[in-house]
Structures are given as C-alpha cells and as structure tokens.
Chains A and B, each alone.
Chain A
Amino acid sequence: MIYRETGQFRTSYAEDQAIFRLRQDKIGIAVILAIAWVGIPLLADEYLLRAILIPFLILSVAAIGLNLLLGYCGQISLGTGAFMAVGAYAAYNLALRVPGSPLLLDFLLAGLVAAAVGVLFGLPSLRIKGLYLAVATLAAQFFADWAFLRVPWFTNYTPSGSVTAPRLDFFGWVVDTPLEKYWLCLAFACVIALLAKNLVRSRIGRSWMAIRDMDIAAEIIGIRPMTAKLSAFAVSSFVAGLAGVLWAFVHLGSWEPLAFSIDMSFRLLFMVIIGGMGSILGSFLGAAFITVLPIFLNQVPAMIGIQLSTAMVSHLEFMIFGTLIVLFLIWEPHGLARLWQIGKEKMRLWPFPY
C-alpha cells in the first residue's frame, strides 16, 4: 500500500538511471535527511550526540569503506583499522608539519595517504585471494600498530605516545560543540554515501562486482583484474582513512595507537556482515547496530534489575556478536539491508496476499 509504483512511468534514460527511481524513495530519503539535519539537532541532548550519533556516523563511513572492498569487490580485509590509523596519523602530521594548511585539505590528503598504503597492502591480492588475503591485510594491521607505537616521528616524539588533534577550524568555522561536530560528521557521511552509491552504479563499480562474482570470467570479458582490485583497495582505504581522521580528530580528540587496533577491524567487519555485504544502506544499518548493542547491553539489564559486571557485559557482547554473525551468514548473508528490501517487497503487495 505504501510502496505503490503504479502510475510512475520512466520516460527517459535519465529518469531510468536516477538513484531513487520511486517517488516513495525520494520522499523517504528527503524525510530522513530532514530529520538528520534539523530534527535530531533540535531534540538530541549532548550525551546522545557524543556517545551514539557521532560514533555511529563515523563508523558508518568506515563501514562504507570496507563494504566497497568486501561487499562489492569481494576482497576480504582484516586491516581496516590500520587504514583508519594511517589516515588519522597522516592528518595529524600534515596539520602539525605544514602550518597554515587548510584542515579540509589535510583531511583529504590524509585520505590519499591511506589510499596509497591500501594499494601497497592490496598488491598481494593480484596473486592471492580469499583466506590468503586475510593474512596479508592482517599484516597491514600489525605493521601499523607497531609503527605508530614504536616510530616516534609519527607521534611527534610525545613521551606517552598519545597525540592530541589540533583545533578543528574549517575556513573560519570552528567546530567545537557536540552539535557542530555532529553536523560535520553528518556532512562527511552524506557526501561519502552519495559518492559510494554513485561509484558502485558506475562502470568501475560494475567491474568490482564482476570480479567479486567470478574473477576469471570477469577477466575473460575484458575487465582488468589489476585495475579493478587495486582501485577497490584505493577507494576503500581512502574512505577508511577519512573515517579514521574523523574518529581521531572529531570523536576522540586525543588518541593512542590502540584506538585503531585489530578490535576496530573486526568490529567493522561485523558491521558489514550484519548490515549487509554489497549495500550502502547496509553499512549504516550495521554501524547503528554495532554502536547501539553495547550501550543496550550496559543499560537494559540494570533497568530490569539484573546487575552484570563490566567483564560479564563484554563477554556477553562477544557471544551475541559471534552468534549474530553465524546466524546472519546462515539465514541472511545480505544482512539487515536485505531484510529491509524484503520488507519493501511485502509492502508493495500488502494487503493483497498474492
């Protein structure tokens, strides 16, 4: 009833290629954007912004990055945390060592540095795949952990190894309050999501998907595996790097290498699996789920009168994540995004049972 497409005719190629072809989708996305840009700032308090919404938006961006690689190009990466770290430290060093450079430029350059590192560790993907690649990307993770801990130049020789982000000044707009930070993250998330959505609908996105579905067949019909795989690594690491900058500069403020440990990489992998491999919407759903679940576990048992120790909560979190991963892989490998799609299909027919 809600999703009725009767009477909506597409009469030109341009209309046929639009991102949101249905009127309902257009209205829906407009409503969501309005809520995100205006509604939430009016209603949300500082805690909600700081503890849930800002991390959610940044992790969504990172999950989009991993999803481009894993969900669209089929190359597994256990090193997303490392690429985020590269972005964060690159931005830190650029801002520190090139005084007067605009912060936005630093952010983008940091993304490019992360992309270069991503390509470097993606090189083995030309010869190996699947499980072997997982180990190659783990190498990236461990190497980055070590480098940012042990090479003092990266942290500007601070004795504790923890570094603090400079003031967030975008051409005179000083981002200071949680609300401003939220808007900044939202802006990045919107732009990246739009870019990613368009990228995967374009020639290059289709070549990624061809590689994912069967690389040999893709090669035979004329897709260059090297270009496709390395471009996927580059774009994915760029997005992850940007997310890393946001995570460090906007969310944490001051951080240690531990902030981007292998835990982060696994968390992002879970977001992509639970949210939906090969779906931009899924990245957002997965990020929301993984951000909210620990908070939920922390607060709900206490509300109904069960006291759980912190250790117990983290163990429960492990168990629930593990179970969910297995269940999603068995029942719905395309994750929450696919569930949403099924829901839409149902709504098209409802209330008629055919």
Chain B
Amino acid sequence: MAELGPVLEVLLGGLMSGVLYALVALGFVLIFKASGVFNFAQGAMVLFAALSLVRLSEWLPFPLAFLLTIVIMIAVAWAVERLVLRPLVGQHGLILFMATIGVTFFLDGFGQTIWGSNVYQLDLGIPASPWFLLENVFPGGILVSPIDVFAAAIAGSLVLALSIFFHSTKIGRALRAVADDHQAAQSVGIPLNQIWLIVWSTAGIVALVAGMAWGSKLGVQFSLSLVALKALPVLILGGLTSIPGAIVGGLVVGAGEKLAELYIGPLIGGGIEYWFAYVLALAVLLVRPQGLFGEKIIERV
C-alpha cells in the first residue's frame, strides 16, 4: 500500500493535466467538425486570449475584461473567417491547414506586439497551496493542485454545455448539418458563413477558457502557444470528429505520459513526456487511423 500512494498521485496529476490538453483539443474538434479545417492556430488563439485577458484585467475589473476578451475573440474569429477561410473555400484540406499555420504565426506575433511578451501572472483567486486528500489512507496523503481541480470542473461543464448546444438547439443542428456536407447544408438554406463565424467564435471562447486554465498554471507566456502541439496527439487518439474523444484522448495522454515517465523514464534517460504522446498517437494511427472515437474514414472516388 505504501507504493500505491505516490502512483495514485502521479495518475491523478496526469489526469488533471489531461483535462487541460482536452480543453485545447476541444477547440480543434469544434472547428474540424463544422468546417473540415484542421485549425493549427488553436494554440495561438489560446495564447492570444490569455494575453488579452491578463493585460485587460490590469486596466479593468475582471468581469469586464473577461467580456471584452470574448468580444476580441469573436472579432478574431470574424477576421479569420473573412480574410482567410472565405477566399480559400473549396480548397484542399492541406492548403487550409497550411493557411492556419500562417494564422498561427501571425497571431503569435501580433499578440506579443500589442500585449507585450513578458510572463504575466494570471490570478483567478484560487488558492495556490495544494490540497492533501485521503491523509488517513496513505502516509502523507495525495497531493492535488486546486487549479487543476478548478480546470477540470470548468472543462467538464464546458463539454456538457457544448453537447447540449450541439444536440438540442437549432444552431447546433445546423452545425451538424454543415459538418456532414457543406453543399447539402447550403442547399437547404443554412448560411454557411454565419455558421463558420459561430463555430470559430465558440472555438475562440474555448481557447479563452483553456488559456485561463493553462495561464493560471504556467503563467501567461509564449509557451502557451506550444500547448497546442501537445493537443494534436490527443486529437489523433480520440478521433478528429468526436468531442468525447477529445476528452478521453486528453485523459489517456495526460495519465499515460506521467505514468510512462514514472515507469519507463528512468530506464532510458527521462524526459519522455516530451514525445510519449506523439509516439502513442503514431501507434494508434497505424492500427486505427480514425482514432478511438472518430468516424471511419471512407474514400469516395
């Protein structure tokens, strides 16, 4: 039993950071589902949202800054839809993907130009000192960070809200229709451009939430943009089109990389967190290209 405590602690920490990966992956899935665009810029949007929030809240009361950041993210979504996606409509997926890499670089540069590039502390008023759970079961208890718990709760409610939004509202139905077939959706009178604007705005707000969670954990800085790179294997694992897949993928990657670090790490030099998620995703790709929950990829000629 003495061994189990630390392992549980690592597992729990992994699951919690997995939730954070899932938050970023969620933004990817939203956009991919509705427009077939693999949005590499999600990470840059996370950084941009977090930077805006942190710098605005220096001037304004927090709720106002939060609302203003949402407005900014909607503006970004609008600009991306108008200036990048609309001219490229109907292009090959690879071209769209590379265009979002361009958007990534632009947003990274732009965000740091107007908001500055220092490390900013984001204080959400959550106690920083860790909690100890189950102290009477294990010696020393299990260490849990309140920020992680908070992030997990937010992620959970966000997923719930999005599921309801997708399944029971008129806009949600329209979104699913667009995801199935752009042309068919357009022919029954669904305004494609509006739908894309809504989706990108939603992804922007998800990015803001992810930015708050990551920002309060790591500080708001450029490395937030790189979190997106970790979200890619999460996506592959869960399947590109599945919201529950993003969550499960995040948890698997989060827990898996921490446990692998614990058990395999010492054998081959440590630091395998750096690539574990990717190699896991690679293995999944070879066996099950559509991921755990994705729709089967069907080739039509």
- Note all chain A residues with C-beta closer than 8 A to B138: none
Q: What is the bound-complex CA distance between A262 and B99, given in angstroms?
A: 18
A143 to B233, CA, bound (A): 13
Known contacts A131-B93, A132-B289, A329-B88: does B110 contact A319 (CB below 8 Å)?
Answer: yes
Q: Categorize the interface residue count of chain A.
A: 35 or more
> Given the complex of chains A and B, what is the CA–CA distance between A273 and B102 in angstroms?
10
- The CA of A132 and the CA of B236, in the complex, are separated in Å by 7
Residue A317 CB within 8 A of the other chain: yes
B97 CB within 8 Å of chain A: yes
- Please tell me if B112 contacts chain A, counting CB pairs below 8 Å: yes
The 8 Å CB contact of A149, one of B94, B271, B286, is: B271
Question: Chain A contacts of B232 at CB under 8 A?
Answer: 134-135, 138
In residues 314-331 of chain A, which contact B (Cβ within 8 Å)? Answer: 314-326, 329-330
Please state if A130 and B109 are interface contacts (CB–CB under 8 Å): no
Identify the closest chain A residue to B117 (Cβ). Answer: A311
Digit string of B52-96 for contact with A (CB within 8 Å is 1, else 0)?
Answer: 000000000000000000000000000000011001100101110
**Contacts known (A151-B269, A329-B88); A266 close to B109, Cβ less than 8 A:** no
Which residues on B sit within 8 Å (CB–CB) of A97? none
- Flag B183-208 by CB within 8 Å of A: 1 or 0 each: 00000000000000000000000000
- Interchain CB contact under 8 A, B113 and A319: yes
Other CB < 8 Å A-B pairs besides A135-B278, A323-B106, 12 of them?
A123-B286, A127-B289, A135-B282, A136-B282, A139-B282, A269-B98, A315-B112, A315-B113, A316-B113, A325-B98, A325-B101, A326-B84
A sample of 10 inter-chain contacts (CB < 8 A) reads A127-B286, A135-B236, A136-B282, A146-B275, A150-B269, A315-B112, A322-B104, A323-B106, A325-B105, A330-B84
Q: Tell me, in angstroms, the Cα distance from A104 to B144 when the chains sit together.
A: 56
Report whether B229 and A316 are in contact in the complex, using a CB–CB cutoff of 8 Å.
no
Contact flag A143-B278 (CB < 8 Å), given A315-B117, A324-B102, A330-B87: yes
Task: Decide: A139 near B281, CB < 8 A? Known: A146-B275, A326-B106.
Answer: yes
B1 at interface by CB-CB < 8 Å: no
B140 at the interface (CB under 8 A from A): no
- Tell me the count of chain B residues lying within 8 A, CB to CB, of chain A: 47
Interface, chain A (partner B; CB < 8 A)? 74, 76, 123-124, 127-128, 130-132, 134-136, 138-139, 142-143, 145-146, 149-152, 216-217, 262, 266, 269, 273, 311-312, 314-326, 329-330, 333
A266 to B102, CA, bound (A): 10
> How many angstroms from the CA of A317 to the CA of B113 in the assembled complex?
11
Q: Are B271 and A146 in contact (CB under 8 A)?
A: yes
Please pick, from A130, A135, A145, the residue contacting B93 in the complex, using a CB distance under 8 A. Answer: A130
Interface string of B251-292 (1 = CB under 8 A from A): 000000000000000001111101100110110011001000
What A residues does B229 contact at CB under 8 A? 138, 262
**B106 CB contact (under 8 Å) in A76, A145, A311, A322:** A322
Q: How far is the CB of A80 from chain B (nearest CB, A)?
A: 14
Given known pairs A145-B274, A216-B301, the reply for A330 and B282 (CB within 8 Å) is no
- Which of A142, A266, A319, A329 is B99 in contact with, Cβ under 8 Å? A329
Cross-chain contact B103 with A322 (CB below 8 angstroms): yes
Chain B positions within 8 Å of A320 at CB level: 109
Judge whether A312 and B113 touch: CB under 8 Å. Answer: yes
Q: Are A76 and B278 in contact (CB under 8 A)?
A: no
A321 touching B102 in the complex, CB below 8 Å, given contacts A130-B94, A130-B97: yes
Which residues of the partner chain A approach B97 to less than 8 Å between Cβ atoms? 76, 130-131, 134
Distance in angstroms from B93 CB to nearest chain A CB is 5
Q: Is B102's CB under 8 angstroms from A142's CB?
A: no
Q: Which of B108, B235, B270, B279 contacts A318 (CB 8 A)?
A: B108
Q: Which residues of A contact B102 (CB under 8 A)?
A: 321-326, 329
How many Å lie between the Cα of A184 and that of B189 in the bound state? 63
Contacts of B281 in A (CB 8 A): 135-136, 139
- Determine the distance from Cα of A150 to Cα of B278 in the docked complex, in whole angstroms: 17
Interface flags, B222-248, vs A, CB<8A=1, else 0:
000000010011011000100000000
B38 at the interface (CB under 8 A from A): yes
**B278: A residues at CB distance < 8 A:** 135, 138-139, 142-143
Neighbouring B residues of A325 by C-beta, 8 Å? 98-99, 101-102, 105
Cβ–Cβ < 8 Å partners of A329 in chain B: 88, 91, 95, 98-99, 102
Known A-B contacts A138-B229, A330-B87; the reply to A316 vs B236 at CB < 8 A is no
Alpha-carbon distance A318/B104, docked complex (angstroms): 9
Chain A residue numbers with a CB within 8 Å of B301 are 216-217
Q: Please name all residues of chain B whose beta carbon is closer than 8 Å to the beta carbon of A128 when the two chains form the complex.
A: 285, 289
Contact status B95-A143, CB under 8 Å: no
